[in-house]
Amino acid sequence: MSTTGPSNDNEARFHALVDYAEQLSGGVDALLIASGHHEPLVRDDMPNGLLFELDYLCRVQFDATLHDLRHPWLSHAAPTHLRPLLEGLAQIAFILGHETEHPVGTAQQRATCLGLARVREEHEAMKAARPETVPVGNIQESEQRVAIFEEMHQRIGCAYAKDVRDWKCRQADGTPCDHRSMWPCRMTPAQPRKLTSPTMRELSKRMNFHFRDVEVASSLVLHMLLADRLWVDTGHGTNAFANAKYLMRASTLALAVSTYGVSIGFILDSVEPATGAAVRAFMSAMWKKPDMIEIGTGVWDQPGATDP
């Protein structure tokens, strides 16, 4: 269960794949600055303020995934970071209307509805906590944020259509999409995370990628299940803990790159389409790397191969 650096050729080659993926981290800033978009954003600049806030929250989870994947034993924990990455993707897709052909309202309205729900949930969590555990001034500051978003919400206008006949987003059978019952600013108490599952279902269909399956699997890992992935049969009637296999590590790396790459691709497409195309080209090159292909065959994990 080593947590040291590369100790053999395969491990060094796998680290090279992780190093390549790491170029995505911070790549948004570099691409935007290179294309002339270098002005700072304020938090109430909707939708961009919330989009880039979500980008940074996703980036730290992506970096944490890569950190864990560099260590054969810690790689077992890497999938726990996929769940928040997927939540970030879901909220970004919701803001930009990528989960449906008929998004409700404008991107500015959806971002404001979602932003209001996010600050409300944070504020309610602080109020419910024991007072001595909340840093001085945090509750008052969160009240101010809620007030700012409530004013924006009233000024910009809520995207929610009260008359169901005016709801544009529909399921295949003609009924309103699941977002109607989970519209972020309408839920009491505020739970914007409820958007994740319905958005993952729709994105999975529209992009022909198993985002929803990844959401379920990463949630099981996060909730301390799927323990058998840590074990191997000793051949003597017992199990023993083992380092993560290369196939598992490469699969997690691919899923992290796909999730974070799609997220920042959506954002960049809305600001500077050429930079979004650059992200997609980077992801495509990742899948074509010979070591990614070879690991996918399982040969690195076969008996006789050098253990990580």
Please check whether residue 118 lies inside any domain of the structure: no
User: For residue 1, what pLDDT is reported?
Assistant: 46
The per-residue pLDDT for 5 is 47
Residue labelled with tokens 């019952």: 181
Is residue 141 in some structural domain? no
CA neighbor of 142 nearest in space, from 168, 159, 120, 158: 120
pLDDT higher than threshold 70 for residue 307: no
Confidence of residue 303 (pLDDT cuts 50, 70, 90): confident
> Is it the case that residue 2 has pLDDT exceeding 70?
no
Q: Residue 139 falls within a domain, yes or no?
A: no
Mean pLDDT throughout 48-67?
Answer: 94
What does the alpha-carbon distance between residue 71 and residue 74 come to, in Å, rounded to a whole number? 5
Q: What is the largest CA-CA distance in the chain?
A: 69
Residue 174 domain-assigned (yes or no): no
Does the pLDDT of residue 214 top 90, yes or no? no
270 near 54, Cβ under 8 Å?
Answer: no
221-262 pLDDT tens trace: 888 877 877 777 777 777 778 899 999 999 999 999 999 999
| Contact status, residue 259 vs residue 211, Cβ threshold 8 Å | yes
For residue 129, is it within any domain? no
237 or 40: which carries more pLDDT confidence? 237
Q: What are the angstrom distances between the C-alpha of 221 and each of 61, 73, 140?
A: 15, 15, 36
What pLDDT band is residue 164 in, cutting at 50, 70 and 90?
very high
Whether 245 is in a domain gets the answer yes
Q: What is the pLDDT of residue 3?
A: 44
Q: Is 73 a residue whose pLDDT tops 70?
A: yes
Q: Residue 292 is part of which domain span?
A: 9-103+193-301
The Cβ-side half-sphere exposure at 62, using a 13 Å CA radius, reads: 30
Say whether pLDDT at 20 is over 90: yes
State the DSSP string of the chain: ---SS--SHHHHHHHHHHHHHGGGTTHHHHHHHHTT--PPPPTTSTTHHHHHHHHHHHHHHHHHHHHHHTSTTGGGGGGGGHHHHHHHHHHHHHHHTTT-SS-SS-HHHHHHHHHHHHHHHHHHHHHHS-GGGSPTTHHHHHHHHHHHHHHHHHHH-----SSGGG---B-TTSSBPGGGGG-GGG-SS--GGGGHHHHHHHHHHHHTS-HHHHHHHHHHHHTT--GGGGEEE-SSS-EEE-PPPHHHHHHHHHHHHHHHHHHHHHHHHHH-HHHHHHHHHHHHHHHT-HHHHHHHTTGGGSTTSPP-
As for how many domains the chain has, the answer is 1
Distance CA 219, CA 193 (A): 13
Over residues 124-155, the pLDDT tens digits come to 999 999 988 989 889 999 999 999 999 999 99
Point out which residues pair with 241 in neighbouring strands.
231
Sign of CA dihedral 78, 79, 82, 84: negative
Say if residue 166's pLDDT is above 80: yes
**156 belongs to a structural domain:** no
Distance in angstroms (rounded) separating the CA atoms of residues 133 and 70: 35
The per-residue pLDDT of the chain, averaged, comes to 88
Residue 33 confidence (pLDDT) above 90: no
pLDDT at 305: 64
pLDDT in tens, 190-210: 999 888 988 998 888 888 888
Beta-carbon contacts of 93 under 8 Å, excluding residues fewer than 6 positions away, are 99, 199, 203, 266
Please compute the mean of the pLDDT values over residues 67-79 and round it to a whole number.
95
Q: Percentage of the chain with pLDDT > 90?
A: 57
User: Is residue 170 a part of any domain in this protein?
Assistant: no
